[in-house]
Amino acid sequence: MAPFLCLLFLLFSSATACDRCVHQSKAAYFSKASALSSGACGYGYLALGLSGGYLAAAVPSLYKDGAGCGACFQIRCKDSKLCSSKGTRVTLTDLNHNNQTDFVLSSRAFMAMANQGMGQDILKLGIVDVEYKRIPCEYKSQNLAVRVEESSQKANYLAIKLLYQGGQTEVVAIDVAQVGSSNWSFMSRNHGAVWDTSRVPNGALQFRFVVTAGFDGKWIWAKSVLPADWKTGVVYDSGVQITDIAKEGCSPCDDSHWR
């Protein structure tokens, strides 16, 4: 593995050890999903399309300075009389500053943890004991998408937002170049799911993403994403899907099943 990928992987693994183990905590809820869609990841109204309004804000250790944006989790409350064993699946869209709970869920997601007909009962509690684990995100009919942010200005500044990031991975680096060129410019994470650069190549643009995959990192190359006449506010199909699952040295929980 190249030294660059080695460094990225070491940084990643030190911050996310045992990411998919089952963890014990508490969860609360927001009464309006809009509070989560306008959150730190920067998805805005597009957050509601990621998982049907099943959204979550998570503590800094899961938010990971924005690298955790778009991650998927299965969460279930521990009161077997009130809640189902299936729980709910959520997408991380915001940062939770409350150190009393690992998650603050949308009310739809919070109610989905309850047994049938008991959604209002769990809402009355406001906060419940939960267990959770990270799971792969699935967008079977949807490629990774790139939205050009309104702050972008051709030739001077480009800001993009990543949508529909599948698998159980994190994007840890992005490069951009003109289609057909090998003169790559690196992008930086501005905040959440938004990346930017002031070194904007001319013409149509290609991207390459470094994602965590297996026990390593890998390049994913989207060979033609933005047309030469790209527009702000438009979502472009990358033509690639991310389905990888990052591996971690989490024994003994690596191979355990949630019963």
Q: What is the mean pLDDT of each run of 10 residues along the chain (259 residues)?
A: 42 50 94 75 90 93 95 96 96 92 95 96 96 93 96 96 95 97 97 97 97 82 97 98 80 57
Write a three-state SS string for the chain: CCHHHHHHHHHHHHHCCCCCCCEEEEEEEECCCHHHHCCCCCCHHHHHHHHCCCEEEECHHHHHHHCCCCCEEEEEECCCCCECCCCEEEEEEEECCCCCCCEEEEHHHHHHCECCCCHHHHHHHCEEEEEEEEECECCCCCCCEEEECCCCECCCEEEEEEECCCEECCEEEEEEEECCCCCCEEEEEEECCEEEECCCCCCCEEEEEEEEEECEEEEEEEEEEECCCCCCCCEEECCCCCCCEECCCCCCCCCCCCC
- The pLDDT value recorded for residue 239 is 97
The per-residue pLDDT of the chain, averaged, comes to: 88
- The pLDDT value recorded for residue 84 is 95
Residues 54-85 have pLDDT tens digits of: 999 999 999 999 999 999 999 999 999 999 99
Query: pTM to 2 decimals?
Result: 0.89
